């Protein structure tokens, strides 16, 4: 199969319309079989649930080309499980896990020419989503939905690749206590737009959100969980009921403990203790692991010892091991690599 003629190395994190997408509709109480289409547009009722009351959720995962030329995805079963969990929270009919994985397989296979080659620094980002398409005007769940999966080849989420970034402590909250922060609802991202536009305008790459109830504990950023490393080499990640359970973070904590033999802690992390950590990174499908060099707290700077030029030593080890597993260079724990072609 001939790959598309793209300059893979210069891709940022943006939308490029690939040849195929998968579409399945929920009508009369059931999901139809669905199938591939080349049409990247939609016609919707002006009164669709997604347009009126933001009834929509999404997932994000990637397809990788391994060193020996296979196309694989990473733990898609966990994306399927998380999407089902989000659906329950938003009164969207769940899609069975098997159907989710089958759709991902079909769309990636059909777009194999768009999967960036091994070593190019790019990957194929896969975006499954479900939205209410039936009309609603009184506040209520829609009766009809669409599940859609498209793909887009992407490079690094943050400009500058894996160079450390600067983030700021946000004055806005990402999620309410007992709200929707633990699920991947589109509305969480709508709520974060004001804060991210403002952060970028002021020269910051991302926002650090604190817990909305006491504003003393670290939660996450707009699109990634935090990992910290203590001066004695323990990997620490915040535990909170209002952060998204990142698949990358759960995988990295396993890698840290079981493969690298490091001490790990998932616990509440007070902002007050952040200045004492040796390393800080953001982790997620899009972010992979993006090292944080500096945190700005209303003009007061916390600068991590590794500086602004390179990742800290343990962050680098975690990055190398995770990407090594995803690209097939390092043996994966059972069930982590899902072969597509
Ligand atoms: N936190 C938020 C708010 C996110 O949007 C994402 C992205 O999916 C993550 C964390 C990272 O999750 P994952 O590693 O499953 O991509
Ligand atoms: C992902 O990492 O897949 C996400 O959904 C994060 C988003 C901010 C791009």
170 neighbors 195 (Cβ within 8 angstroms): yes
Q: Where are the beta strands (DSSP E) in the chain?
A: 21-27, 30-31, 35-37, 56-58, 61-65, 71-74, 123-132, 145-154, 165-169, 206-208, 225-229, 235-238, 264-267, 279-284, 288-297, 300-303, 337-339
Active-site residue identified among 184, 202, 217, 231: 184
pTM of structure: 0.98
R_g of the chain, CA atoms, integer Å: 20
How far, CA to CA in Å, does 297 sit from each of 204, 294, 312?
Answer: 11, 10, 21
Ligand 2 atom closest to Cα of residue 60: 3
SS3 category, 221: coil
User: Rounded distance, CA 256 to CA 262, Å?
Assistant: 5
Architecture, CATH, for domain 8-154: 2-Layer Sandwich (3.30)
- 163 included as an active-site residue: no
Residue 22: strand pairing partners: 36, 149
Residue 37: strand pairing partners: 21
Closest CA to 39 of 63, 19, 61: 19
Q: Please provide the CATH number assigned to the domain covering 165-326.
A: 3.20.10.10
Closest CA to 93 of 142, 60, 153: 142
Ligand 1 center–CA 244 separation, angstroms:
6
42 neighbors 132 (Cβ within 8 angstroms): no
User: Rounded distance, CA 220 to CA 210, Å?
Assistant: 7
Q: Give yes or no for residue 223 CB within 6 A of ligand 2.
A: yes
146 neighbors 133 (Cβ within 8 angstroms): yes
Q: Which ligand is nearest to the CA of 193?
A: 2
Q: Give yes or no for residue 282 CB within 6 A of ligand 2.
A: no
Q: Within 13 Å and on the Cβ side, how many CA atoms surround 155?
A: 14
Task: For residue 42, give both structure tokens.
Answer: 């939609």
Phi and psi (nearest 5°) for 94? -70, 150
What average pLDDT values come out for the chain (341 residues) when binned by 10 residues? 94 97 98 98 98 98 96 98 98 97 98 97 98 98 98 94 94 95 98 98 98 97 98 98 98 98 98 98 97 98 95 97 96 97 93
Residue with the smallest CA separation from ligand 2 atom 7 is 223
For ligand 2, mutation pick of 60, 128, 193 (most atoms within 8 Å of CB): 60
Task: For residue 90, give both structure tokens.
Answer: 């938003």
pLDDT at 110: 98
User: Rounded distance, CA 129 to CA 244, Å?
Assistant: 16
Ligand 2 center–CA 153 separation, angstroms:
14
Give the Cα-Cα-Cα angle 307, 309, 313 (nearest 5 degrees).
70
Residue with the smallest CA separation from ligand 2 atom 9 is 286
Q: Would you say the CATH fold of 165-326 matches that of 8-154? A: no
Q: Give yes or no for residue 291 CB within 6 A of ligand 2.
A: no
Ligand 1 atom closest to Cα of residue 249: 14
Ligand 1 atom closest to Cα of residue 184: 5
Quick one: which H or E segment has residue 323? helix 313-326
Ligand 1 center–CA 260 separation, angstroms:
23
Residue with the smallest CA separation from ligand 1 atom 10 is 224
Ligand 1 center–CA 224 separation, angstroms:
5
Ligand 1 neighbours (beta carbon < 6 A):
60, 220, 223-225, 244, 246-249, 284-285
User: Rounded distance, CA 307 to CA 163, Å?
Assistant: 10
pLDDT at 236: 98
61 neighbors 74 (Cβ within 8 angstroms): yes
103 neighbors 147 (Cβ within 8 angstroms): yes
pLDDT at 1: 82
User: Domain map of the chain by residue range?
Assistant: 8-154, 165-326
User: Rounded distance, CA 146 to CA 27, Å?
Assistant: 9
Strands 264-267 and 235-238, sheet pairing: parallel
Ligand 1 atom closest to Cα of residue 248: 14
Task: For residue 179, give both structure tokens.
Answer: 């709200």
Q: Is the alpha carbon torsion for 213, 214, 220, 222 positive or negative?
A: positive
């Amino acid at each position: 199969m001939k790959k598309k003629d793209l300059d893979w190395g210069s891709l940022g994190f943006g939308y490029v319309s690939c040849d195929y997408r998968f579409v399945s509709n929920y009508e009369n109480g059931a999901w139809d079989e669905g199938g591939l289409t080349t049409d990247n547009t939609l016609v919707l009722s002006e009164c669709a649930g997604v347009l009126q009351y933001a009834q929509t959720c999404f997932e994000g995962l990637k397809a990788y080309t391994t060193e020996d030329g296979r196309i694989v995805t990473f733990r898609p079963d966990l994306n399927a499980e998380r999407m089902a969990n989000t659906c329950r929270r938003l009164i969207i009919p769940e899609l069975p896990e098997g159907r989710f994985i089958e759709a991902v397989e079909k769309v990636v296979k059909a777009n194999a020419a768009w999967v960036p080659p091994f070593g190019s620094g790019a990957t194929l980002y896969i975006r499954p989503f479900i939205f209410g398409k039936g009309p609603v005007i009184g506040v209520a769940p829609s009766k009809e939905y669409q599940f859609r999966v498209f793909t887009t080849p992407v490079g690094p989420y943050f400009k500058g690749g894996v160079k450390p970034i600067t983030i700021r402590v946000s004055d806005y909250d990402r999620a309410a206590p007992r709200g929707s922060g633990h699920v991947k609802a589109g509305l969480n991202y709508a709520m974060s737009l004001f804060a991210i536009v403002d952060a970028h305008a002021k020269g910051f790459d991302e926002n650090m959100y604190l817990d909305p109830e006491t504003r003393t504990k670290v939660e996450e950023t707009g699109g990634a969980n935090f990992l910290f490393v203590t001066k004695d080499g323990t990997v620490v990640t915040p535990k909170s009921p209002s952060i998204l359970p990142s698949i990358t973070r759960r995988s990295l904590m396993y890698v840290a403990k079981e493969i690298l033999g490091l001490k790990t802690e998932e616990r509440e992390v007070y902002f007050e203790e952040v200045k004492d950590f040796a390393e800080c990174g953001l982790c997620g499908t899009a972010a992979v692991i993006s090292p944080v060099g500096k945190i700005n707290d209303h003009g007061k700077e916390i600068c991590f010892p590794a500086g602004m030029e390179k990742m800290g030593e343990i962050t680098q080890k975690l990055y190398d091991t995770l990407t090594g597993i995803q690209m097939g260079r390092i043996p994966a724990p059972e069930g982590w690599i899902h072969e597509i072609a």
